[in-house]
Amino acid sequence: MAFAVEAGSVSPGVARGNRVAVLEGPGGTGGGAGDGKAASAAVVGTVTGAKAPESPGGARVVTVLVETGAVRRAAGMEHPRVVVLPAEGREAP
C-alpha cells in the first residue's frame, strides 16, 4: 500500500525495512470496512519504499507491505500517520 503522508505525520528517518504502524490521523473518518473498532485499528507492516516530498511541506509517499486482510482497512484511512515500531515485539500503538 502506498500512503501519502502529510508533513509531521511520519516518524523522522523512516526507511526501507522499518517495521511500522499506520494509524488514522486527526480528522480521519475511519472509513475502512467493518465496524468502527476495526476501522480505527492500526495497520502494521514493513516499509518497502519512502519518497521525499516533491515540495517543502508536501506529502511524503511511504509504501508499506501489509497483510492481505488489512488492505481494505488501510485503503480507507484518511490523513494516515506512520510510526516506526521497535524491531522486537509485536505490539502496535
Average pLDDT of the chain is: 83
Task: Convert the pLDDT of each residue in 39-77 to its tens digit.
Answer: 468 999 999 999 988 888 889 999 999 999 999 999 999
How sure is the predictor about 24, in pLDDT bands with cuts at 50, 70 and 90? Answer: very high
DSSP string across 27-67? T----SSSSHHHHTS-EEEEEEEEE--SSTT--EEEEEEE-
| Cα–Cα dist 83/92, whole Å | 9
Q: What is the pLDDT of residue 40?
A: 60
The answer on pLDDT for 35 being more than 50 is: no
Would you say how long the chain is, in residues?
A: 93
- The average pLDDT across 4-24 equals 92
